[in-house]
Structure 1
Amino acid sequence: MENPNSLRKNLLLAVLFSGLFILAFIIGKSQKKSNQDYGVKTSVSQEVLNLQEAFVNVAEEVKPTVVSIYTEQVLKEVVPFNFFFADPFEDFFDDFFGQSTPRRNFPQKRYYNRRRVEGAGSGVVIDRDGYILTNYHVVRDAERITVKLANDREYSGKVIGKDAKTDLAVVKIKPSGKLVVAKLGDSDSIRVGDWAIAIGSPFGLEQTVTVGIISAKRQNVEAEGNVYRDVIQTDASINRGNSGGPLVNIHGEIIGINTMIYSQSGGSVGVGFAIPINRAKAILEPLKTKGKVERGFLGVKIEKVDDVFAKQSGLKEKTGVAVTDVVSGLSADKAGIKRGDIILEFGGQKIESAEKLQDIVADAAPNKKIDVVVWRDNSKKIISVVLGEWTEEQVASVEEKASGKSEKTGSWLGMKVKQFTKDMAEELNVTPDEQGVVIVDIASGSKAAEFGLYAGDVLRAINRKKTTTLAEFEMVTKKASLTEGILFDVNRSGTLIYKTYIEK
């Protein structure tokens, strides 16, 4: 007969082993259920895998064509001179002794601080010779441009063409090897809902890929005083630094150039805009060969004709566009177009909207003579107009005149001047009886930027010919020859100096 202690021991072991077996069984079932619940080993449909592969293929194909663009610009800022020349003890003695001490008139001088500003954007290689398409605002006023390829090679870049109206520019580099060139697609064939892939360097994070769809097309967006028409809207994430980079379709073709976002915070909220690539293709050749896009300019402000305007003007139908203002001295004014005229036809084409007239005028060559049919005094009149040329400065001038802030200025080789008046004397630190024209702006990268002159300088004479008035300034500069040399007589903050320049 077995010992009772031995029997109890065997029974305890049997219970223990049974418990361990049941516990292992429960854990195994639980783990299996967990795997099923949380999809550790989940089957993925082939369609999803194919879509993922398509995105990967697009990224691998397009990324080598995308570049990062880094710019440097030097800004010259006026440093307040009173800080350097005021006597800090004068007010102390006045308060302590209760009397005013004689003020000393220190010579006031103007000091400038040069501040270097860096920027970043993106671009896309469009030609094996080193042509890169980007945004105009990415390289605007840049004094130094560095282009970094996808393979980390860096090159110095030069802007060879720019167009503020479309916010596009072409930068040229001299590559040491072969470049991978992007495929340009057809932006007219895109559909709302199509896949859209943005590639660029947001916040300096190079070669970033984001995915979304075409949210809308043919949207008009206003930014920095310019209206960008028929842009592509996408919810693919676009941020600072993406500007100038490509918007790509699912086939790896460039359909747009990422340009701007709508955001109250400064970051992406899913509303980004791109310039259609077809618009870029239409102006690439003149940008590469001429450095600009030549567009016609009429010099009027217009608005659509509504039912009341048509009825009160004697028109039987609502058609054409109404002229609300004519800019003095420009093409429309010279031809005799008046405020209140309704433009019915332009160059033989019927005008149904303001946008159509703007497109037709812009597509026309400057200095071209065009017949315009207007409705005036209950009858049609034909007026021949010689178009001017659209420029960024021309548009700014028109906007100034329209806002009542017009001020007559002159320009020469990137230098903008205005007439000196006595009320400018204190600001410029010159005597009220000074005579000449004041430099108000010198465009970065222009020929005038090489003269050694600054905004705020008073030009008293050029080549010993007085420039007391704008008319004298324009007369002298027309006869000036850079190869023979230019002598500037300048009053700079009360100091009379001479500056010379000769083109070698």
Structure 2
Amino acid sequence: MKKFASLLVVAILGGTITLGAYKFLEEDPIPATTTTTTSNFNPVNYNGTPITSTNADFTEAADRTVHAVVHVKNVQISRRPRTMQDFFNGGGELRKGLVGAGSGVIISADGYIVTNNHVIDGAAELEVSLNDNRTFKAEVIGSDPKADIALIKIDTEDDLPYLPFGDSDNVRLGEWVLAVGNPFNLTSTVTAGIISAKARDINEYDSNPQSFIQTDAAINPGNSGGALVNINGELIGINTAITSQTGSYVGYAFAVPSNNARKIVEDILEYGDVQRGILGIRGGGINANTASQYDLEVSEGVYVGAVNPDTGAAEAGLEEGDVIVKIDDVKITKFSDLTGYLGAKRPNDIVEVSFIRNGETSTVPVKLTKFTTFVIEKPGLEIREASKEVLKENGVKNGVMISRATNEQLQRYNLSGIIITAIDDQNVNSVEDVKRIISEKDSREPISINFASKDGESKQIIFN
């Protein structure tokens, strides 16, 4: 039987219909962030009570949810050249056009709406239609492309119906859920299913692994950004992707957990951007091969392949070869369990990490370290700070480290860990240096990047 992974086609549900699967060839430090103690969005403490009858009544939850789910239309401006001179000089007639549509969830009475980043990406205008057919222009407040979550807002004179956040950590396998959205422009569509899996990573070759709630509720293109709710009408996820060979529903759908989405929203409102932290390790999940290779006595958990200096993990005494099996009260059986839990945490939060070393289990407090990254749009590289030890290992005195490629064509190469020492012949010592150099450039100009590879080779590449 062919591997299941080879059959996965990750289909984004919004205007572009398909979500290109991310690629990775090694797992990097783990993003982590924290929930605030107060919230503007009426979180609820859902206890995950299982339904004991298949005759559960969905009508109340469906009626409550459809009024809080909106239709989001992405309008972009394109330039149509009329002459060859227009073509080469970037001139021509400006035209507006609808390039995609998806869904969104109202999370506050004053008009804040959560949706997917890919639904609103590149929009010149956003048009939001409510269930009562009223239409409003929306403003983008902020977004997190990694988690595919965006926060937008509409202004109205009256209070809007909204959904409270449920606790996605407490959802149970087999629990009934409803998916609400606008598939194929069919507004206010409700489908029912169950929780099929938790902490699901839909692409094992992603250097930035995600942790999704999996459901068999029917979700199709246009459902992106819509609500996944329990039968109490509480928001437990933002519908994001499906696996399909055709781009349409075949039984597998995925949602960003509500705890992670809520934390991203609150970060945007409080800090202006998303606050991420890291344990400070590199590693991955355990399978039969890794258990045999490293002579491990366990078959579940996260194997620590390296500990980054100047991080909470290093200060707490974690070492290469440790196997993380629990964080706080959450059992860690695979890498996405860890990333999913830490996705609702912030830098400087302290988590209790339980790990196995030499057959014995120990628990230590680990303070999460802030994770700072920046994406160089051309050629499509995400970079982060490089420690002195990493620079020394690569035989360079300055530079920043590539964490992953965001360009699909570059994702086939193992670029994670490579050092960038200069951009446009200017030495870079930090992420801020890179931001400054990029901000001073015209995006249409070529960019030259000096790389120091893992084997000590240096080269300069010019990207047009």
User: Which TM-score tier does this pair reach, normalised by the shorter chain?
Assistant: 0.5 to 0.7
1:483 paired residue number? none
Match status 1:149 vs 2:154: no
Comparing 133-142 and 276-285, the one that deviates more: 276-285
Match status 1:255 vs 2:236: yes
Paired with 1:290 and 1:344, the residues of 2 have a C-alpha distance of 34
Alpha-carbon distance change, 302 to 152 in structure 1, aligned in 2, over 3 angstroms: same
Equivalent residues of 2:328, 2:351 under 8 A apart: no
Equivalent residues of 1:185, 1:254 under 8 A apart: yes
2:202 paired residue number? 222
1:453 paired residue number? 442
1:68 paired residue number? 71
Q: Which of 238, 241, 249 in structure 2 is aligned with 1:268?
A: 249
2:282 paired residue number? 301
Equivalent residues of 1:161, 1:290 under 8 A apart: no
Match status 1:159 vs 2:148: no
SS at match of 1:237: coil
2:402 paired residue number? 397
Match status 1:418 vs 2:418: no
Paired with 2:58 and 2:352, the residues of 1 have a C-alpha distance of 52
1:169 paired residue number? 150
2:215 paired residue number? 233
Equivalent residues of 2:279, 2:366 under 8 A apart: no
Paired with 2:196 and 2:328, the residues of 1 have a C-alpha distance of 29
Comparing 199-208 and 125-134, the one that deviates more: 199-208
1:122 paired residue number? 103
C-alpha displacement at 1:343, in angstroms?
Answer: 3.9
Q: Which of 317, 320, 331 in structure 2 is aligned with 1:341?
A: 320
Paired with 1:185 and 1:361, the residues of 2 have a C-alpha distance of 17
Equivalent residues of 1:297, 1:331 under 8 A apart: no
Paired with 1:56 and 1:367, the residues of 2 have a C-alpha distance of 43
Paired with 1:370 and 1:196, the residues of 2 have a C-alpha distance of 30
Paired with 1:271 and 1:314, the residues of 2 have a C-alpha distance of 35
Paired with 1:227 and 1:187, the residues of 2 have a C-alpha distance of 18
Paired with 1:277 and 1:361, the residues of 2 have a C-alpha distance of 13
Paired with 2:312 and 2:167, the residues of 1 have a C-alpha distance of 40
Alpha-carbon distance change, 298 to 157 in structure 1, aligned in 2, over 3 angstroms: same
| Structure 2: gaps of 5 or more residues | 1-53, 375-381, 385-400, 406-410, 428-434, 452-463
Alpha-carbon distance change, 74 to 409 in structure 1, aligned in 2, over 3 angstroms: farther
Matches within 5 A, 1:482-493: none
- Measured against aligned partners, the alpha-carbon deviations of 1:336-359 in whole angstroms (never above 9, x if no partner) come to 999992246899979976636656
Structure with greater contact order relative to length (CA < 8 Å, sep ≥ 6): 2
Equivalent residues of 2:423, 2:447 under 8 A apart: no
C-alpha displacement at 1:187, in angstroms?
Answer: 3.8
2:187 paired residue number? 206
C-alpha displacement at 1:227, in angstroms?
Answer: 2.7
Match status 1:134 vs 2:139: no
1:280 paired residue number? 261
Comparing 356-365 and 287-296, the one that deviates more: 356-365
Matches within 5 A, 1:37-52: none
C-alpha displacement at 1:143, in angstroms?
Answer: 3.3
* Aligned pairs, number: 350
Match status 1:245 vs 2:259: no
Amino acid in the other structure paired with 2:202: E
Amino acid in the other structure paired with 1:291: G
C-alpha displacement at 1:218, in angstroms?
Answer: 0.9
Amino acid in the other structure paired with 1:295: R
2:176 paired residue number? 195
- Measured against aligned partners, the alpha-carbon deviations of 1:352-399 in whole angstroms (never above 9, x if no partner) come to 7663665676666447899999979xxx9x999983415473479312
Alpha-carbon distance change, 314 to 254 in structure 1, aligned in 2, over 3 angstroms: closer
Paired with 1:196 and 1:266, the residues of 2 have a C-alpha distance of 22
Equivalent residues of 1:61, 1:252 under 8 A apart: yes
C-alpha displacement at 1:273, in angstroms?
Answer: 1.7
- Measured against aligned partners, the alpha-carbon deviations of 1:146-166 in whole angstroms (never above 9, x if no partner) come to 211112222222222323443
Paired with 2:124 and 2:247, the residues of 1 have a C-alpha distance of 26
C-alpha displacement at 1:183, in angstroms?
Answer: 3.9
Equivalent residues of 1:296, 1:388 under 8 A apart: yes
- Measured against aligned partners, the alpha-carbon deviations of 1:216-269 in whole angstroms (never above 9, x if no partner) come to 1314133594432151312x2211111111123333333322111111101112
SS at match of 1:244: coil
SS at match of 2:209: strand
Paired with 2:444 and 2:438, the residues of 1 have a C-alpha distance of 10
C-alpha displacement at 1:60, in angstroms?
Answer: 3.2
| Structure 1: gaps of 5 or more residues | 1-49, 86-108, 411-416, 421-435, 438-445, 460-467, 471-492, 494-504
Paired with 1:360 and 1:187, the residues of 2 have a C-alpha distance of 10
Paired with 1:458 and 1:342, the residues of 2 have a C-alpha distance of 40
Paired with 1:246 and 1:418, the residues of 2 have a C-alpha distance of 43
Alpha-carbon distance change, 251 to 335 in structure 1, aligned in 2, over 3 angstroms: closer
Alpha-carbon distance change, 342 to 361 in structure 1, aligned in 2, over 3 angstroms: farther
C-alpha displacement at 1:331, in angstroms?
Answer: 4.9
Paired with 2:168 and 2:365, the residues of 1 have a C-alpha distance of 37
SS at match of 1:342: coil
C-alpha displacement at 1:119, in angstroms?
Answer: 1.7
